[in-house]
Copies of this chain bind each other. A is one copy, B any other.
Amino acid sequence: MKMNDNRSRLIEIAEGSVQRSGLKALSFRTLADEVGIKSSSVHYHFPEKSDLARTLIEQYRDKLFVELNGIATSGGSLRTQFLAFVDVFGGTAQDNRVCLLCMMASEFAALNASNQVLLANVFTNLENWLANLFDSRREELATQLSSQQMARLVMSGLEGALLIDRVMHDSERLDTQKTALLQLMK
């Protein structure tokens, strides 16, 4: 398993670039330059830009769920697992990055049909993970909201918070979302 081959490096660099500036702002040339190859070689790995987009979404999803499965397996209280979930998202949003899914969502109109469906499915998967967490520990919930409502509340709150916090050069909104949502848990 070669972790440092060019394909992996392309994905890694493209991921950071999309999280900072979006897919539209990323060119095959710039991407190639940063890896030290030519743009035509990038097309060998990703024939069209939509192929790169699909790969980025899939890999981001897979990386997230590796961590989320770890959280679910190790158990812990609802509050503990919720905070771990928040850390997974906040962790991908350092250095002027926001969540890759959020950037893709903002460029939704430019995605082809299959990538639009893929992106929607990832959001569904994440909300389902959260809903399952809230369901399995309903006795630790201190709210009338359903597990699914809680899941949607968390996802939308986190994505919006990361987006605005980057503009404001602080983390006040992410901190506030954490505080507010914790008050819905025992």
Measured CB to CB, the residues of A under 8 A from B are: 20-22, 24-25, 96, 98, 102-103, 105-110, 116, 119-120, 123-124, 143-145, 149, 152-153, 155-161, 163-169, 172-173, 176-177, 179-180, 183
Contacts and interface: CB of A to CB of B under 8 A. Distances in A.
Contacts of A177: 153, 156-157
Q: Quick one: copies of this chain in the complex?
A: 2
Given A167-B116, A172-B152, A145 B179 contact: yes
Given A25-B110, A106-B106, A155-B164, 7 more contacts: A103-B106, A105-B163, A116-B167, A120-B169, A152-B172, A156-B164, A156-B177
A160 B149 CA distance: 14
A93 to B, nearest CB: 13
